[in-house]
Amino acid sequence: MLRELVSKGESSNLIGCWLRLVEKRLGGPDAIIINGRTEAKAWRFGRVMAFREGQVMQAPETPAVFYSRTECARRLECASVHQIKELLGAPDYVYIADGGKELPIWSHRSLNAAFQLVQDARSSGSKEFDRKRAFKPRIIRQQRDRLARFARVRSLIRPKPVSRVRFCSPRHVWADPEAVEACRVR
């Protein structure tokens, strides 16, 4: 049994029709592929080839949902895709995107099993799957030397006065008429 899903563009290439007519000819999609913010419709390879031979197969009422590797990492709240490779195991299906590019995809059941493993690891105190802080920007040696030279030169320069005007807090003695007379300059 082939476990391949074909994108809309590849389906149009295989059956020889326009991209807009794929869904009209084949019927509804067999699966929805979620990758970040995009949701791509996909058809089983066998169904597309059967249509090519003249047989029309019915579409499922509700298409199955599959996730890309990056979407799996995002939903598992892991730092990187490479951490969850072993957890996810072999892909459930292969998604053939436009241009014949093959991408592994996993079902919701596989994602739930990986989520359970991650939660068990986290509850045991492991921080292996926690998100890590993004990389710190590296400062190259020339930049460090330039900053050190600038700091040495700045220490030799006499500080300049910022302003010759001084701001003082106001005296509130003018409320009383006797205080006005006492403070008046003669």
State pLDDT tens for residues 133-177.
Answer: 656 667 788 888 887 877 776 666 666 666 666 566 555 555 666
pTM above 0.85, yes or no: no
Residue 93: burial class (beta carbons within 10 Å; 0-12, 13-18, 19+): buried
Radius of gyration of the chain (CA): 34
For residue 182, is it within any domain?
A: no
**Residue 56 belongs to what H/E stretch?**
none
For residue 73, is it within any domain?
A: yes
Counted domains in the chain: 1
For residue 115, is it within any domain?
A: yes
For residue 116, is it within any domain?
A: yes
For residue 33, is it within any domain?
A: yes
Return the percentage of the chain with pLDDT > 90, whole number. Answer: 13
Per-residue model confidence (pLDDT) at position 1 = 40
For residue 85, is it within any domain?
A: yes
User: Do strands 102-107 and 64-67 pair parallel, antiparallel, or not at all (unpaired)?
Assistant: antiparallel
What is the domain extent for residue 93?
4-123
Q: What is the mean pLDDT of residues 92-121?
A: 89
For residue 53, is it within any domain?
A: yes
User: Do strands 102-107 and 93-96 pair parallel, antiparallel, or not at all (unpaired)?
Assistant: antiparallel
For residue 156, is it within any domain?
A: no
